[in-house]
Amino acid sequence: MKREIASFVYSCLTCQKSKIEHQKPSGLMQPLAIPEWKWDSISMDFVSGLPRTIKNFEAIWVIVDRLTKLAHFIPIRMDYPLERLAELYIEKIVSLHGIPLSIVSDRDPRFTSKFWEALKSKKLTPRFIGPYQILERIGEVAYRVALPPSLANLHEVFHVSQLRRYIPDPSHVVQVDDVQVRDNLTVETSPMRIEDRELKQLRGKEIALVKVAWGGPAGGNVTWELESQMKESYPELFA
């Protein structure tokens, strides 16, 4: 029984997504490749906590060419939105040196997307999402992952420390029935039963309505329909 319990816990999907691993980070540190030309690769960071200037600047945005070590020091305010930083970047860097092939940063919140802000660690928030298929190995410590369309705004290459091995279990697989979709992008439903009946007064005329519970692939809903139309299309419901 002990082995069965350990196997069940080991393959628990919730545990795989949320449980913290008490071990050293996976993979070894890898040095960054030396750029082949100036301003092909840059690094950037913020120096904050400085005395406020007359123009209300309180930080310096440091952008360094990784090959020549030439640096630009751009005064900024810490409350600048991402759009303002992008304007400064185009004005001060792109206009002089063009667009770099790569940017090295410490993942400051100003450089991360709103998606990652939504996924940042909170109580009861899974630390991992997936599982997703690994397509190929990139270098020594990175892998390319097949991401779904909903995560298309993410880069598909991840460091091994950001990945965790998935332990499969038959309970993780959800069986989905095939659904035949019509040319007008609708699916066929069928009435299961008549749940209620009532008469509506409309311009001095009584109209009989029936409450129909629908089944089929797109079933699970209840609607009011004309009794005459339902009797004509589904007479077996009134037998």
- Return the higher-pLDDT residue of 140 and 134: 134
- Return the higher-pLDDT residue of 88 and 154: 88
User: How far apart, in Å, are the Cα atoms of 183 and each of 131, 176, 180, 189?
Assistant: 33, 21, 10, 15
On whether the pTM is more than 0.85, the answer is no
- Return the higher-pLDDT residue of 33 and 124: 33
Burial of 99 (0-12, 13-18, 19+ CB in 10 A): exposed
pLDDT at 235 over 60: yes
* The pair of three-digit structure tokens given for residue 16, joined into one six-digit string: 């795989």
41-104 and 190-238: same fold?
no
Rounded average pLDDT over 158-172: 82
**What pLDDT is stored for residue 119 in this prediction?**
43
Q: What does the pLDDT look like over 92-101, one tens digit per residue?
A: 888 888 888 8
CATH topology (fold) of 190-238: OB fold (Dihydrolipoamide Acetyltransferase, E2P) (2.40.50)
Domain 41-104: top CATH class: alpha beta
d(CA 121, CA 109): 14
Q: Are 76 and 57 in contact (CB under 8 A)?
A: yes
d(CA 192, CA 220): 10
Q: Are 198 and 192 in contact (CB under 8 A)?
A: no
Rounded average pLDDT over 146-161: 83
Q: What does the pLDDT look like over 76-130, one tens digit per residue?
A: 998 888 788 888 888 888 888 888 888 887 656 555 554 444 444 455 567 778 8
pLDDT at 190 over 70: yes
pLDDT at 219 over 60: no
Q: Where are the domains of the chain?
A: 41-104, 129-163, 190-238
- Return the higher-pLDDT residue of 236 and 23: 236
**What pLDDT is stored for residue 136 in this prediction?**
92
d(CA 124, CA 8): 21
